[in-house]
Structure 1
Amino acid sequence: MASIFQVTARALGGLALGGAATLGWAMRECTQFRLHEVEVPILEPGTLDGRDAFRILHISDLHMIPTQRAKQEWVRSLDALQPDLVVNTGDNLSDQKGVPGVLRALEPLLRRPGLFVFGTNDYFAPRPVNPFKYLLGKKRKVSRVPLPWQGMRAAFVEHGWMDANQARHEFKASGLKIAAAGVDDPHHDLDDYEEIAGPPHPEADLSLALLHAPEPRVLERFEADGYMLSLSGHTHGGQVCLPGGKALVTNCGIDPERCKGLHRFGKMFMHVSNGLGQSKFAPVRLFCKPSATLLRLVEKV
């Protein structure tokens, strides 16, 4: 008969093997990129003038490091979707040498109309963290190791993308009149809503609210001002989820049920991207594959 020590050793060995298998799966899932497509009945009848939809490609949280060639190629391939507008909601970098990879990934999309806001991991490099702090939902301090965001921003703007960090923009894309406003990353209190406060232009066909992290205190202001659709990222969809994709934490103030995908926030539609990357110090995803989203904006019935 096996002794209690032998039984315990076998049990611990089984747990170790199971943990190693789960870790391997979670690391592999980081490269299982997916495209989500959602339909948003948001436009007034007649706005599309006979077209089927206005298409927004929402990308977020690339967290690029130089060696991620597969990610770069996959993002480049999204240009084949021919979006009417590209929206990038930040955290493009996870390495001080990541900018060339970001620009290579986005190069075809930079030729299309675009808007962007930044997250903290555009400005400061990530750092190793205690994973239990993340699972407890505690806010992590930024590293204060600067990233070369200025050159990345300059490249975005030179190609025609509009910087929506603490800014409002009015423009046309594929015949639609668009009013957009954005704030800098509210998760680390870089935002100042008063700088962009007020309703969008009343003649706009579509009004967009941009923010990296879907913090309710900022979403409430956008919703009260009458914006139609908010776009954000940051949550990584929970990153480490239960089977079925149920998030355990969101790393911000939004509730787990609305930390990815399309939802309502009061009268406003809200889309939260689960992102295309993760910190280089936490290269795992579980039941939460990285993704971009094509939002097909259609007319109300």
Structure 2
Amino acid sequence: MERTVTPPRHVGAPPDTRHHQAPEALPLEERLSPGARTGRANAERARVGRPFGLRLPFRRWFPHRRARAILMAVFRGVGLEGAGRREASNLAIRDNRIRSQRLPAAFHGTRILHLSDLHLDTTPGILHSLVNRIGSLSFDCSVITGDLNSFAGSFCEKEARLLRRALGACPAYVSLGNHDSLVDAARWEACGFTILVNERISWERDEDRLTIAAIDDVHYLESPGDSIASLASGSFGILLSHTPDVYREAAHAGFDVMFSGHTHGGQICAPGGFPLLRNAKAPRAFCAGAWSYLRLRGYTSRGVGCSGLPLRFHCPPEIVLHTIVREEYSPA
């Protein structure tokens, strides 16, 4: 499904946009086929109860809650819990510039606010910090690359509407992550967010256009490569994918930019930001910050919230403000 939008720009304190939604958009449950809804729901149920979302043989006698309690006790015992909690609430704003010769001239200087891995239900207080930081930023569009909450059924309408108002009148596009459920996604969409599940929209400015596409989390796709290829439009394209693992498929499909998350940058890292776990199959260089592959330019967010433990070490949470600029071609 493809839609066309002409979003306004967010500047400073935004108006109340709790009822804003992309024009002519059907509700999420009507856009997905019955088979897609059933398949996603079955996959969601199969993942419930796995420690850290993994299929581990010892999960019956070493459940996620017990693992979390033991790890928290260790950090508390060595006196690091306080430092980890403080860093988890120290939300940074990062600027990232993306250059492309294919960017349409009308979109030169476009600014996109990128959030990821909010985990609002397991990161106390992060929403208010996020809203305060967003209020001072100017951008043309916002995207969220998955994991709005950690647990299905923990959707909070008050929090969703507060965040939507902070993002202003411009559209807020969301790709789903491995922690997101379709039921909660529909509730987020009712609050003004545009959930894209294997869909794309066309963004028009003057006579130029670019596309923003998003795939479902790869854990719920039988063939991510086919899904990505079906979303390519030939025009300048931005792909939202919860995980950076599909960077090759995105590049070969012809996308120009890819925004991701999922890895949290490691969340708990050694000094220098070296991740102890990267939670992705992509090479380490693709798991945090800016990267490139062939013509594709990408960014993997370190995320806003926390998963598993409400702690971060040597890996502060971040809001990313991407500025996309047209790079004129100059033959050698």
> Within 2, Cα distance between the matches of 1:121 and 1:199?
23
Q: Aligned pair 1:266/2:294, yes or no?
A: yes
Give the drift of 1:214: 1.1
Residue 116 of structure 1 is matched in structure 2 by: 174
Alignment of 1:1-301 (within 5 A): 20-44=78-102, 47-48=105-106, 53-65=109-121, 68-95=124-151, 96-100=153-157, 101-109=159-167, 111-123=169-181, 148-157=184-193, 161=194, 163-172=195-204, 177-189=209-221, 192-198=224-230, 200-202=232-234, 204=235, 206-215=236-245, 218-279=246-307, 281-301=308-328
Instruction: Tell me how far 1:254 sits from its aligned partner.
Output: 1.4
Cα distance in 2 for partners of 1:282, 1:220 equals: 31
Displacement of 1:176 in angstroms is: 5.2
2:118/2:149 contact within 8 Å kept: yes
SS in 2 for 1:156: coil
The CA deviation at 1:121 is 1.3
* Distance change in 2, residues 1:17/1:54 (3 Å): closer
Alpha-carbon offset, residue 192 of structure 1: 4.3
Tell me the CA shift for residue 40 of structure 1. 1.1
Instruction: Select between 24-33 and 171-180 the one with higher mean Cα deviation.
Output: 171-180
Other structure's SS at 1:21 match: coil
TM-score normalised by length of structure 2:
0.68
Residues 56 and 295 of structure 1 are in contact (CA less than 8 Å); yes or no, is this contact kept in structure 2? yes
| Shift of residue 71, structure 1, vs aligned partner | 2.7
Aligned length: 253
The secondary structure found in structure 2 opposite 1:294 is strand
- SS of 2:310's partner is coil
Q: Is the CA contact (8 Å cut-off) linking 1:23 and 1:284 kept in structure 2?
A: yes
Q: Which runs of 5+ in 1 are unaligned?
A: 1-15, 124-145
**Does structure 2 conserve the Cα–Cα contact (< 8 Å) formed by 1:212 and 1:233?**
yes
- Relative to structure 1, the CA distance from residue 120 to residue 147 in structure 2 (aligned partners, 3 Å threshold; closer, same or farther) is farther
Letter in 2 for 1:99: C
Q: Give per-residue Cα distances to partners, 1:24-79, cap 9 Å, x unaligned.
A: 21122110000100111124487148x6x110111000000288345334235414
Per-residue CA deviation, residues 75-106 of structure 1 (Å, 9 max, x unaligned), is: 35414322111111110013544433233123
Q: 1:43 to 1:154 in 2, by over 3 A?
A: farther
Amino acid of the structure 1 residue aligned with 2:326: E
Q: Percent identity?
A: 25
Specify the SS of the correspondent of 2:86: helix
SS in 1 for 2:80: helix
* TM-score normalised per structure 1: 0.74
Residue aligned with 1:221, SS: helix
Structure 1 residue ranges, 4+ long, deviating more than 6 angstroms after superposition: none
Give the gaps of 5 or more residues in structure 2: 1-73
Q: Is the 8 A contact 1:200 1:226 kept in 2?
A: yes
Structure-2 change in CA distance of 1:43 and 1:85 (3 Å): farther
The one-letter code sitting in structure 1 at the alignment partner of 2:156 is V
